Structure 1
Amino acid sequence: MKDHARSTRTRTGGRRRRSSDRKKHQLGSEPTETTVGERRLKTVEARGGTEKVRAMQTDTATVATDDGTVAATIESVAENPANPNYARRNILTKGAVIETDAGRARVTSRPGQDGQVNAVLVE
């Protein structure tokens, strides 16, 4: 059971022991690898009683152009700086460059966190 707490080692290399057990809110979750496909959403409970909408699959993006915004269809993921394998597997993350019918665009939102794809034209 991993959590996102501080290192278990001190600066000099000594072992730092836990002062308390792990709490549920300290746990992370598996990354939502949003793929290109027919739109499929999933809601998850977040801390504080709020809900997050995660995009499991999506095929549309809101692309910002010089004239305003336009709803575009995502064709594929051209490149993904987060992981080279993500581009091959058509996985959308923030910063991914996507091929749309409006042209090449870079994703500015986090589809796995807020359930939508916002992008800005690259060329």
Structure 2
Amino acid sequence: MALWQGRSRRKPTGGRYRPFRKKRRREIGREQQWAFIGPQRLKLYRTKGANRKVRVLSAEFANVLDRKTSVTKKVKIVTVKANPSNPNFVTRNIITRGATIQTD
């Protein structure tokens, strides 16, 4: 089912806004795609103007920065240690922005 990201039909007071137009295609959002640990899989989406958006379905490696030596290395992801966005993502090994991962 499509996610509609347009203006709400209700005011903050609980009153109703009068619709001034129908829903537009540009106001439709997409369902969330979680990034798991595994061989890299990407999904391409067509956006406005025939441009592309890329979503990661699964990732095996991560670029990690060593702040002391200022060296970036490509390392293998072992597991997710903590995820502040949702504690259940740790057991399901879902990677999001801000997740703490264990690497080799």
Aligned to 1:51: 52
Alpha-carbon deviation of 1:17?
3.0
Aligned to 1:112: none
Q: Contact between 2:6 and 2:23, CA under 8 Å: does it hold in 1?
A: no
| Deviation larger for 79-88 or 6-15 | 6-15
Is 1:72 aligned with 2:94? no
Aligned to 2:88: 85
Listed one character per residue, the Cα deviations across residues 74-115 of structure 1 (whole Å, up to 9, x for unaligned) are: 0011111111111111111111111111xxxxxxxxxxxxxx
Alpha-carbon deviation of 1:42?
1.4
Any stretches of 5+ residues in structure 1 without a counterpart? 102-123
Aligned to 1:106: none
Q: Contact between 2:3 and 2:30, CA under 8 Å: does it hold in 1?
A: no
* TM superposition score normalised by structure 2: 0.87
Cα distance in 2 between the residues matched to 1:33 and 1:39: 13
Count, aligned residues: 101
Runs ≥4 in structure 1, deviation > 4 angstroms? none
Listed one character per residue, the Cα deviations across residues 49-96 of structure 1 (whole Å, up to 9, x for unaligned) are: 211121111110001112221001000111111111111111111111
Superposed CA RMSD in Å reads 1.4
Alpha-carbon deviation of 1:22?
1.1
* TM superposition score normalised by structure 1: 0.75
Pick closer, same or farther for the CA change 1:79–1:35 going to 2, 3 Å. same
Cα distance in 2 between the residues matched to 1:38 and 1:2: 29
User: Percentage identity across aligned positions?
Assistant: 37
Any stretches of 5+ residues in structure 2 without a counterpart? none
Aligned to 1:95: 98
Cα distance in 2 between the residues matched to 1:18 and 1:89: 42
**Max radius of gyration: which structure?**
2
